[in-house]
Amino acid sequence: MAKEMIKGNVAVAEAAVRAGLVSYFGYPITPQTELLEYLSARMPELGRAFVQAESELGAINMVYGAACTGLRTMSSSSSPGVSLMTEGISYIYGTEVPAVLVDVMRGGPGLGNIAPSQADYTQIVHGGGHGEYHLIVLAPSSVQEAIDLTGEAFDLAEKYRTLAVILMDGFLGQMMEPCELPPFKEVNMESPDYAVAPKPGRERRFLTSINIDPPAQEKLNIHQMTKWEEITKNEVRYKGYYLEDAEYVVVGFGTCGRIALTAVREAREQGIKVGLLRPVSLSPYPTEVLNELADRAKGFLVVEMNNGQMLDDVVSIVARRAPVHFYGRMGGMVPYPDEIGRAINDMIEAKAANDYVGRDDWLAQMREMIGQGA
């Protein structure tokens, strides 16, 4: 199939359509809006459901309703909108119905700005809503990967009756790259057994997230943890670059991961044995490969567009077997490869102890850079 140049936001939207999306519910917010705009034409054209909701609260609860029919549904938003959606996210998880959410992150907190950011890693990967839950979180770093993961997100959401999130940022949403769209999947209008989709002769169903009886709730919690164990076993995704002989390892996801690739290549050209681990599934996290690398690497450098949120996960997995350095930009700033390159050199020169964690030094460096003093 011929390649096309498509913007990340639009590519995800069309990939969802081709994955057999039955309904979409959303609310406009930059830098995600093209996704909604595209589907506002595309879905009706195909006779499928599209609603521009009154709010993100409305949108996610429409998704919740549609998910209760077990048919493919999704929403998309950006950071402040996703905060509003956390209510529905918790309910969808609690009810164990399948849905896909695309979060095109932007700078925060508060209204922040519309520039690319990864500041919602913790919110999406480690919770955000109330109660205990684990979402499947996939972080593409190219338009093609965003397309592929969108299709996978629907399959995973259905397979495990859960919510799968495509976590990307404004950079990827706005970027165009040549890519190949998958062929059209037939739209499945046959609701699964557990779903509400009444018809004559079929016994009645109800779906709820209530378990007023604590032992019943605990039993469900254990069931959900068991399911998560299964997901952790089966669904880890990552990409490694130059890791075979790597003495140093850069860890970055999404946009930051691909920017780091340029820095790693440049360092390789200087003879530095550095590799890149780019987690694709942030949840479940590629713990095993990082664990293996921690046994042999001399140092890690975590790069993120936030204040070191994934850093905490890397630190806990590396467990003082090697120093873990950090370089991040915040507030919608995107690092250039040169900055990451410098951070690689700094890591090597520092010869830090194995229990070193780089956040404090990074913050001091940032203060100096923007002229705020300590």
Partner 1 sequence: MQYEILIAGFGGQGTLYAGQVLAYGGMDEGKHVTWLPSYGPEMRGGTANCTVVISEDEIGSPTSLHPTAVIAMNLPSLDKYEPMVKSGGWLIVNEDLVNRVPDRKDINIVMVPANTIAREIGNERAANMVLLGALEANLQILPEGAIERSLEANTGEKLKKFVHLNVEALRRGAEYKL
Partner 2 sequence: MTDTDVKLVYDRPVGLAPRTTHYCPGCTHGVAHRLIAEVLEEMGELRNTIGVAPVGCAVFAYNYFDFDFVEAAHGRAPAMATGIKRTLPDRLVFTYQGDGDLASMGMGETVAAAARGEQITIFFLNNTNYGMTGGQMAPTTLPGQRTSSSPLGRDVETQGYPIRTAEMLSTLDGASYVVRRSLGDARGIRNAKKAIRTAFEIQKAGLGFSMVEMLSICPTNWGLSTPKSREWLKEHMLPYYPVGDFKVSEEAERIMKEVK
Residue whose tokens read 């589907």:
39
Task: Decide whether 145 or 158 has the Cβ nearer to partner 1.
Answer: 145
- Residue 231 one-letter amino acid: I
Is 49 among the residues that bind partner 2 (CB under 8 A)? yes
**Least separation in angstroms between CB 339 and partner 1:** 8
Residues that bind partner 1 (CB under 8 A): 3, 5, 30-31, 113-115, 170-171, 174-178, 258-265, 334, 336-338
Please name which of 356, 239, 226 lies closest in space to residue 286, comparing C-alpha atoms. Answer: 239
Name the burial class of residue 214, with classes exposed (0-12), middle (13-18) and buried (19+) by CB atoms within 10 angstroms of its CB.
Answer: exposed
CA distance 279 to 252: 7
Structure tokens at 74: 């999704």
DSSP state of 30: T
Give the x-and-dash track for 91-130 against partner 2 (CB under 8 A). Answer: x---x-----------------------------------
Member of 53, 181, 236, 330 binding partner 2 (CB under 8 A): 53
Task: Decide whether 10 or 92 has the Cβ nearer to partner 2.
Answer: 92
The site partner of 293 among partner 2, partner 1, none (C-beta below 5 to 8 Å per kind) is none
The site partner of 307 among partner 2, partner 1, none (C-beta below 5 to 8 Å per kind) is none
Give the x-and-dash track for 173-212 against partner 2 (CB under 8 A). Answer: -----------------------xxxxxxx-xxxxxxx--
SS (H, E, C) 39-71: HHHHHHHCCCEEEECCCHHHHHHHHHHHHCCCC
295: left (phi over 0), alpha (psi -120 to 50) or beta: alpha
> What phi, psi does 126 have (nearest 5°)?
-110, 20
Give the x-and-dash track for 13-32 against partner 2 (CB under 8 A). Answer: ---------xx-x-------
Member of 13, 36, 67, 102 binding partner 2 (CB under 8 A): 67
Is 63 among the residues that bind partner 2 (CB under 8 A)? yes
Structure tokens at 176: 């165009």
323: left (phi over 0), alpha (psi -120 to 50) or beta: beta
CA distance 351 to 355: 12
Task: Decide whether 184 or 336 has the Cβ nearer to partner 1.
Answer: 336
For residue 218, give every residue at least 6 positions away whose Cβ sits within 8 Å of its Cβ, in sequence order, or none.
none
Task: Decide whether 171 or 253 has the Cβ nearer to partner 1.
Answer: 171
Is 324 among the residues that bind partner 2 (CB under 8 A)? no
Is 291 among the residues that bind partner 2 (CB under 8 A)? no
**Least separation in angstroms between CB 369 and partner 1:** 14
CA distance 195 to 67: 8
Name the burial class of residue 65, with classes exposed (0-12), middle (13-18) and buried (19+) by CB atoms within 10 angstroms of its CB.
Answer: middle
Give the x-and-dash track for 205-244 against partner 2 (CB under 8 A). Answer: xxxxxx----------------------------------
Contacts with partner 2, residue ranges (CB under 8 A): 22-23, 25, 49, 51, 53-55, 57-59, 61-69, 71, 73, 87-88, 91, 95, 196-202, 204-210
